[in-house]
């Protein structure tokens, strides 16, 4: 065996798995004893700290806690997700439907529209309407003159 224990041998001592030779060396070697004691002390401090922390963090327990809470927590989260999904679906269905519905015009709008239609469908603008009589009479005169000329030209 070398002068001092190896890290592996120290670890074996920590786990209670040391060989008789290791234990024999440990009894005689104060340096290895100190090394092992230092490690044991650090790990014991780690254990004490975690245990004290856990005791501090442990929630106050009531009789029905373990029976009720797990039943509530998981289904509730699934249920809330389902509600949100359904709400989104309903909103998605409602909004396009509202847009696609035909808008019923108000009576005033309808009157205005019919006025515009009438205005647009006129062949001659309103102020020029009196002149149309002349145009119509001229065209009827020309038509009559043309017919008489054709009659004269016939043998």
**Among residues 4, 23, 24, 51, which is the contact residue for another protein, using CB under 8 A?**
51
With contacts defined by CB under 8 A, name the span among 69-77, 88-96, 104-112, 123-131 that binds another protein: 69-77
How far, in Å, CA of 151 to CA of 155, rounded?
8
Binder to another protein among 6, 34, 37, 45 (CB under 8 A)? 45
Nearer to another protein, 8 or 99 (CB): 8
Is residue 66 a contact point for another protein (CB under 8 A)?
Answer: yes
CA separation for the pair 48, 40 (Å, rounded)? 12
**Contact between 60 and another protein per CB under 8 A:** no
Q: Are 39 and 32 in contact (CB under 8 A)?
A: no
- Residue 110 near another protein by CB under 8 A: no
Q: Which of 43, 82, 90, 145 binds another protein (CB under 8 A)?
A: 43
Q: How many angstroms separate the CA atoms of 14 and 75, rounded?
A: 46
> For the range 29-34, what are the long-range contacts, defined as Cβ-Cβ under 8 Å and sequence gap of 24 or more?
29/4, 29/5, 31/4, 32/4, 32/5
Cβ–Cβ under 8 Å, residues 22 and 13: yes
- The answer to the question of residue 58 lying near another protein (CB under 8 A) is yes
**Among 25-33, 34-42, 95-103, 119-127, which window interacts with another protein (CB under 8 A)?**
34-42
Q: Which of 4, 23, 24, 69 binds another protein (CB under 8 A)?
A: 69
How many of the chain's residues bind another protein (CB under 8 A)?
Answer: 37
The DSSP secondary-structure symbol of 3 reads S
């Amino acid at each position: 065996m070398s002068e001092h224990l190896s890290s592996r041998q120290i670890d074996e001592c920590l786990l209670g798995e040391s060989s008789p030779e290791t234990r024999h060396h440990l009894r005689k070697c104060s340096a290895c004893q100190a090394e092992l004691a230092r490690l044991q002390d650090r790990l014991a401090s780690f254990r004490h700290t975690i245990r004290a922390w856990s005791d501090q963090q442990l929630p106050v327990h009531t009789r029905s806690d373990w029976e009720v809470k797990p039943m509530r927590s998981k289904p509730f989260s699934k249920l809330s997700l389902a509600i949100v999904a359904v709400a989104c679906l309903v909103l998605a269905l409602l909004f396009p439907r509202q847009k696609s519905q035909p808008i019923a015009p108000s009576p005033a709008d309808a009157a205005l529209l019919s006025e515009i239609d009438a205005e647009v469908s006129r062949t001659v603008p309103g102020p020029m309407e009196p002149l149309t009589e002349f145009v119509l009479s001229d065209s009827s005169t020309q038509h009559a003159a043309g017919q008489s000329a054709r009659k004269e030209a016939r043998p």
